[in-house]
């Protein structure tokens, strides 16, 4: 980015960039899929998924009228979002249900920006969202995770040419879109191996009486549907 004044920055952020070639879009998708499937890379990338997951809990808590207390992100890629309000009822159900479906939904929202060739706008909106989330983080690892993610996005948006920004933005979008599915399988595997009353599915079981496995299927169906819609928008 070559802007020198605030007006220049604002103009550069919201100016549409040239549409990237289809090979770049496809390649970014293939690389993102490999990042989801290749375990060593997934261990690192899953931190980004956790940020989106806990952000989903936080946003839904606010939308449902709950008082948001804070967010903690852990090095094992788990996280906790704490809010105050009624311990039962629709608001609590929506808050708990939002986490696992948020990464894919965020990926779909990113696609809507990319369809308008707003690559830089997407990157800077991501930075603003991460900055807002940083205010709610309550542990050191969470701060490092959010700041590190934001720093990578900022460096790409400020110091790289449009072609690199586009490649990164499409990879980032593909990754969120595809990465929403794997944690659902991991959730059920963990429930089968070591049942925990604290998983989102089991919390929803207590709140609604609907079996946890049904909630796991709900997460999976929503994420697969959203991913399919995103692939169709990007490729066709």
Range of the domain at 187: 19-235
Read off the pLDDT band of 196 (50, 70, 90). confident
Residue-wise pLDDT for 44-69, tens only, equals 999 999 999 999 999 999 999 999 99
Q: What was the pLDDT predicted at 230?
A: 97
**Looking at residues 115-128, what average pLDDT do you find?**
94
1 within domain boundaries: no
Question: Is the residue at 219 inside a domain?
Answer: yes
Instruction: Give pLDDT, residue 3.
Output: 53
Question: What integer is the mean pLDDT of 18-22?
Answer: 92
Indicate the average pLDDT of the chain. Answer: 93
Q: Is the pLDDT of residue 2 over 60?
A: no
What is the sign of the dihedral through the CA atoms of 220, 222, 225 and 229? negative
Q: Is the four-CA dihedral 182, 134, 112, 2 of positive or negative sign?
A: negative
- Please give the pLDDT value at position 16: 77
In a domain, 9, yes or no: no
Question: Residue 80 above 80 pLDDT?
Answer: yes
The answer to whether position 14 is within a domain reads: no
Is 183 part of a structural domain of the chain? yes
Q: What percent of the chain has pLDDT over 70?
A: 94
Please check the confidence at residue 4 and state whether its pLDDT lies above 60.
no
Average pLDDT of span 117-137: 95
Q: What is the tally of structural domains in the chain?
A: 1
pTM of the model: 0.94
69 phi, psi to nearest 5 deg: -95, -45
Dihedral class, residue 207 (left if φ above 0, else alpha if ψ from -120 to 50, else beta): alpha
Predicted pLDDT at 68:
94
* Residue 6 within a domain: no
Q: Which of 1-15, 47-61, 148-162 has the least mean pLDDT? A: 1-15
Arithmetic mean of pLDDT, 128-148: 97
Question: Would you say residue 113 lies in a domain?
Answer: yes
Query: Would you say residue 8 has pLDDT above 90?
Result: no
pLDDT grade for 31, boundaries at 50, 70 and 90: very high
Exposure b/e, 163-173, CB count within 10 A at least 16 = b: eebbbbbbbbb
| pLDDT value at residue 105 | 97
Question: Is residue 2 situated within a structural domain?
Answer: no
């Amino acid at each position: 980015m070559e802007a020198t004044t605030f007006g220049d920055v604002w103009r550069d952020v919201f100016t549409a960039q040239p549409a990237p070639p289809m090979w770049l879009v496809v390649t970014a998708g293939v690389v993102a899929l490999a990042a989801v499937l290749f375990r060593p890379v997934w261990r690192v990338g899953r931190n980004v998924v956790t940020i989106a997951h806990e952000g989903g809990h936080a946003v839904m808590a606010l939308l449902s009228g709950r008082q948001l207390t804070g967010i903690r992100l852990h090095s094992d890629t788990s996280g906790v979002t704490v809010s105050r309000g009624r311990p039962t009822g629709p608001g609590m159900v929506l808050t708990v249900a939002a986490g696992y479906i948020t990464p894919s939904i965020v990926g779909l929202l990113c696609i809507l920006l990319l369809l308008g060739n707003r690559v830089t706008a997407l990157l800077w909106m991501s930075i603003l969202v991460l900055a807002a989330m940083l205010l709610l983080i309550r542990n050191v690892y969470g701060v490092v995770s959010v700041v590190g993610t934001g720093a990578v996005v900022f460096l790409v948006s400020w110091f790289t040419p449009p072609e690199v920004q586009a490649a990164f933005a499409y990879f980032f979008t593909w990754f969120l879109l595809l990465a929403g599915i794997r944690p659902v399988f991991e959730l059920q595997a963990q429930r089968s191996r070591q049942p925990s009353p604290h998983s989102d599915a089991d919390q929803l079981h207590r709140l609604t009486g609907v079996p946890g496995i049904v909630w796991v299927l709900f997460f999976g169906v929503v994420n697969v549907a959203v991913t399919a819609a995103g692939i169709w928008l990007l490729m066709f």
